[in-house]
Amino acid sequence: MRWDAQALVPAPDPGTAGAAPALLPLAGLVRSVTTPEFAGITFHEVTAKSVLNKVPAGSRMPFEWTVNPYRGCSHACVYCFARKSHTYLDFDAGLDFDSQVVVKVNAAEVLRSELSKPSWKGHQVALGTNTDPYQRAEGRYKLMPGIIAALAETGTPFSILTKGTLLGRDIPLLKSAASQVPVGLGISLAMTDEELSEAIEPGTPGPRARLKLVSRLREAGLPCGVMAMPILPWLSDSDEALDSLFAALAAAGATGVSAGALYLKPGTREWFMQWLAARHPELAGKYRRLYGTGSYASKEYRTWLAAKVRYFKARHGFTGTSGFSHDDVDDPRGEEAQYPAGSIPEPGAANHRRAGQHALAAGPSAGPAGQDALF
């Protein structure tokens, strides 16, 4: 096969004298692969000993376990919060995160084995918490069908968060799974501007394609919450941009929406600010003042944005659809600390319908136009 012919580093045979060393010190490395279909990207195929990851004790996440069949992500979202995790593999958080993708080729088999142990109690498992399980390489590796089957057949509730329209391939499997266990589905989409999306998340399907996926999921009777994050200061936070976004999500039938401002943790911040200086140098100083030395935008900005988000959610019928929240008095994220309805599994969630759709289409009498233009 053409893909096989692209192997850079075959797995060394430990019984062969003088076997070639692995290209990278990755545990379980089988081979590293490049192919013209994915120009500029190297895939490091590894065999994993375990794929279930325990969420740290004390976390307020609505799940205890995660699975990430890939590490690194060809979506190449400049703002991706997971970038620093690549440094744990001795890659950098910038270009390497986009172009050096680790693939756990035996993920489905290992997961099934782990879920079949008597000690497994059917806790909820979340996919897409670090890197996207439906990034482009999934079209080649086809790891998710086996993962979905393993979860459903062992009675394990699960959720998937993705930007990848490859999820549409697995709608029949997801419908079958949802008849066996609670399933939550989330799409990440924070803008309708195709040009901005192409610039800042160049490896993703565009907004129109993701909106179509939301509609397909809803037409299939599956839930679909939308994580409208990150909202980008001065780039996607205008009244026009937010109105367009929430109107499009309502039309697509999203079961709920959460929105929040750009989060710039270390590793992400440096890469994003480099991109901003190159693409929008007029905004670089504003971002430095808005974020200071921290990861979050100022409290004033977050308060201002939250008011706009509440207005447009109400205008387009997303009242009463906030879903699970893990925020508390010490959490500065507010709205973005919520998981939108449909994105987290709950019994019967696939049969729920978003209450009050379009009920407030005209919007309340006082809205963003009456707010101070702080940002």
- The model's pLDDT over 5-40, given as tens digits with 9 standing for 90+, comes to 455 655 444 444 433 334 456 889 999 999 999 999
Decide: 226 and 214 in contact? Cβ < 8 Å. Answer: yes
Residues 153-177: what's their mean pLDDT?
A: 98
The residue assigned the tokens 């929040």 is 260
- Residues forming beta bridges with residue 127, ordered by sequence position: 67, 160
| CA distance readout (Å), 128 to 133, 322, 346 | 6, 20, 18
Confidence category of residue 329, pLDDT binned at 50, 70, 90: very low
For the segment 104-131, the average pLDDT, to the nearest whole number, is 96
> What is the percent of the chain where pLDDT is above 90?
77
Q: Which of 114, 111, 118, 115 is nearest to 143 (CA)?
A: 111
**pLDDT tens digits, 213-246:** 999 999 999 999 999 999 999 999 999 999 999 9
Q: Give the pLDDT of residue 72.
A: 96
* Distance separating alpha carbons of residues 273 and 289, to the nearest angstrom: 12
Q: Please determine, for residue 77, whether its predicted confidence score (pLDDT) is greater than 60.
A: yes
Q: Whole-angstrom Cα distance, residue 338 to residue 225? A: 11
- Residue 22: what pLDDT? 40
**Which pLDDT does position 14 carry in this prediction?**
41
- Percentage of the chain exceeding pLDDT 70: 81
Q: What is the pLDDT of residues 193-203, one digit of tens each?
A: 999 999 999 99
pLDDT band at 353 (very low <50, low <70, confident <90, very high): very low
Reduced to 3 states (helix: H, G, I; strand: E, B; else coil), residue 295 is coil
Per-residue model confidence (pLDDT) at position 320: 66
Rounded average pLDDT over 165-184: 98
Residue 47 pLDDT class (50, 70, 90 cuts): very high
What local confidence, expressed as pLDDT, does residue 58 receive? 80
CA angle, 129 then 135 then 137, to 5°: 130
Contact 137, 38 (CB under 8 A): yes
Please say whether the beta carbons of 86 and 92 come within 8 A: yes
Mean pLDDT of 272-284: 98
Q: How far is CA 207 from the centre of its chain?
A: 14
Q: Is the confidence at residue 206, as pLDDT, over 50?
A: yes
For residue 62, what pLDDT is reported? Answer: 86
Q: 144 or 130: which carries more pLDDT confidence?
A: 144
**CB-side exposure of 220: number of CA atoms within 13 Å?**
23
Ranges 48-62, 111-125, 278-292: which has the least confidence? 48-62
At 242-260, the pLDDT tens digits run 999 999 999 999 999 999 9
**What is the Cα–Cα distance from 255 to 249, expressed in whole angstroms?**
9
Tokens of 342: 């449909």
pLDDT attached to residue 217? 98
**Higher local confidence (pLDDT), 319 or 94:** 94
Confidence class of residue 333 from pLDDT cuts 50, 70 and 90? low
How much is the average pLDDT of 336-355?
Answer: 63
Is pLDDT of 349 > 90?
A: no
Using DSSP's 3-state secondary structure scheme, residue 320 falls into coil
Q: What is the pTM of this model?
A: 0.86
* Higher-confidence position of 260 and 334: 260
- Name the token pair of 190: 């924070």
More confident residue, 183 or 11: 183
- Position 354 pLDDT exceeds 50: no
The predicted structure's pLDDT at residue 83: 96
